Copies of this chain bind each other. A is one copy, B any other.
């Protein structure tokens, strides 16, 4: 059956480990119950795809505010699948390409995936791939149509395909009918200070404070909800400000200044 075939073929093809490595360079912090739920959800979808008799492709959309870890999570699920074919599609390697070249590049990735019995395709930052900009709004219709078609196209008989996509502008994808093409949608949230997520991440980063009062002040200064990527940047920026001033550890003032510089002072 499928599972037997799965275990046999894998070594022969080899996964695109490097791509995933770059995206997961900084590792995941297991910060709480919400995080655990995200992981379980992802694993369950992989189980479904592997075992189903009638579903030969699943498309999953990871959505949430900027910096909440959508890309890292997609990379984690892709790695967890242990599928022999894994490919990341992002605009980083398509700068300066025309619309049609991009369409064909994307199509090529799908054509390649169709040749492997089990494949994962990661579509990172969908709104960037379709060249969306709110002013106008403008976007590339050829790229959008390519995605609208490929996200729901069935793979050839006997092949299984997992599509993982990320976006921080779900409403945009909805207005283009692109979100509706996905079989599943998972929301990745910001860290919550009240749920203790923030403290767990600070702990995991091994932050040193110049005093206990400052430690309390730092936590006080941080907003109620903050994306994990922003928190990490703010801490580092505040540390640099402190070091410039000759401070031994993190201070509330430095954190407040860093939040301002990051444009994170007024909660948006």
Q: A91-B145, A98-B100 are in contact. Are A244 and B44 (CB under 8 A)?
A: yes
Chain B residues with Cβ below 8 Å from A139 are 135
Report whether over half of chain A's contact residues are helix, strand or loop; otherwise say mixed: helix
Chain B residues with Cβ below 8 Å from A91 are 145, 148-149
Question: How far does the Cβ of A111 sit from chain B's closest Cβ, in whole Å?
Answer: 9
Question: How far does the Cβ of A193 sit from chain B's closest Cβ, in whole Å?
Answer: 22
* Contact for A54 among B54, B236, B241, CB less than 8 A: B236
Number of copies: 6
Chain B residues with Cβ below 8 Å from A241 are 44
Residue of B nearest to A180 (CB): B66
The answer on a CB contact under 8 Å between B183 and A262 is yes
Chain B residues with Cβ below 8 Å from A41 are 261
Q: A135-B139, A180-B66 are in contact. Are A146 and B262 (CB under 8 A)?
A: no
Question: How far does the Cβ of A255 sit from chain B's closest Cβ, in whole Å?
Answer: 13
Contact with B along A147-162 (1 / 0, CB 8 A): 0111001100100000
Output the residue of A43, A135, A141 with the most chain B CB within 10 A: A135
Bound Cα distance from A180 to B138, whole angstroms: 18
Question: CB of A40 within 8 A of chain B?
Answer: yes
Residue of B nearest to A21 (CB): B157
The answer on a CB contact under 8 Å between A150 and B107 is no
Bound Cα distance from A139 to B139, whole angstroms: 13
Bound Cα distance from A107 to B144, whole angstroms: 24
The segment from A8-16, A126-134, A215-223 that touches chain B is A126-134
The answer on a CB contact under 8 Å between B96 and A104 is yes
* Contact for A176 among B48, B128, B135, B183, CB less than 8 A: B135
The answer on a CB contact under 8 Å between A133 and B144 is yes
Q: A residues bordering B, Cβ < 8 Å? A: 22, 25-26, 40-41, 43-45, 47-48, 51-52, 54-55, 66, 91-92, 94-96, 98, 100, 103-104, 107, 110, 128, 131, 133-135, 137-139, 141-142, 144-146, 148-150, 153-154, 157, 175-177, 179-180, 183-186, 232-233, 236-237, 239-241, 243-244, 261-263
A-B contact pairs, 25 of them (CB 8 A): A25-B157, A26-B54, A44-B241, A44-B244, A47-B243, A48-B240, A51-B240, A52-B236, A52-B240, A91-B148, A95-B146, A95-B149, A95-B150, A96-B142, A128-B145, A131-B141, A131-B142, A131-B145, A133-B141, A133-B148, A133-B177, A138-B141, A179-B263, A185-B262, A185-B263
